[in-house]
Amino acid sequence: MLNKDDYKQFSEKMDKSISVLEEQMDTVRAGRANPSILNKITVEYYGTETPINQVGNITVPEARMLVFQPWDVSVLKAVEKAIQKSDIGINPNNDGKTLKLVFPPLTEERRISLTKQVKKYGEETKTAVRNIRRDAIEHFKALKKKNELTEDDLKEAEKEIQNITDKHVAQIDKVVATKEKELMEI
């Protein structure tokens, strides 16, 4: 007989997939200033590629503005270049001490483009969750083959894994819908 622990590892893997999706959603610019949009950007700092949030302070003084203040002013130019090279589409204003990133309002075209990107992230996560489901079912079939499970236990396991998958897919849809709503109402 199977218990909840038999499904736990697969459910945790699905949870991790959703966590990754949520991190991806944070990097999608929605017209408001969000410091996590800079998380993927790195700068060479003393010979090491370092995330810019580890070489300075990022604040949100206004709804559509980020201010980056480096701890070491010598890194300011490198951070400015890294932001310009990134795909966030914002040119920082350098005043010699800080970088100001002003987020322009999103155009309708850009909103549609970002919505498609959000849906793509959602579909990729659903695929990952379905792959975990497939792996789980193969795991239980292998146990059945070794005579560690009965046919009824296998059917029950497949049903439970499908329920867990359905819950995670619904959660993915909710995350995607929330981000789409955020993109369209700005």
Q: Are 162 and 10 in contact (CB under 8 A)?
A: no
Secondary element (H or E) of residue 81 = helix 76-85
Residue 41: the pLDDT is 83
pTM of the prediction? 0.70
Kindly tell me the sign of the dihedral angle through the C-alpha atoms of 163, 169, 171, 174: negative
Residue 3: the pLDDT is 67
**Closest C-alpha among 23, 99, 105 to residue 59:** 99
Listed as ranges, residues in the chain with pLDDT below 50 are none
Read off the amino acid at residue 2: L
Residue 167: the pLDDT is 96
Residue 90: the pLDDT is 78
Torsion angle defined by CA atoms of residues 75, 77, 81 and 83, in that order, rounded to the nearest 10 degrees: 60
Residue 123: the pLDDT is 96
The two three-digit tokens of residue 167, written as one number: 């819950």
How far apart are the C-alpha atoms of 155 and 75, rounded to whole Å? Answer: 59
Q: What is the pLDDT of residues 53-104, one digit of tens each?
A: 888 888 888 877 889 898 888 888 888 888 888 877 778 888 888 889 887 7
Residue 35 CA neighbour count, 13 Å, CB half? 15
Edge to edge, what strands does the sheet with 93-94 contain? 56-62, 65-70, 99-102, 93-94
CB count in 10 Å sphere of residue 106: 18
Domains for the chain: give ranges and CATH numbers.
4-26+107-185 (1.10.132.20), 35-102 (3.30.1360.40)
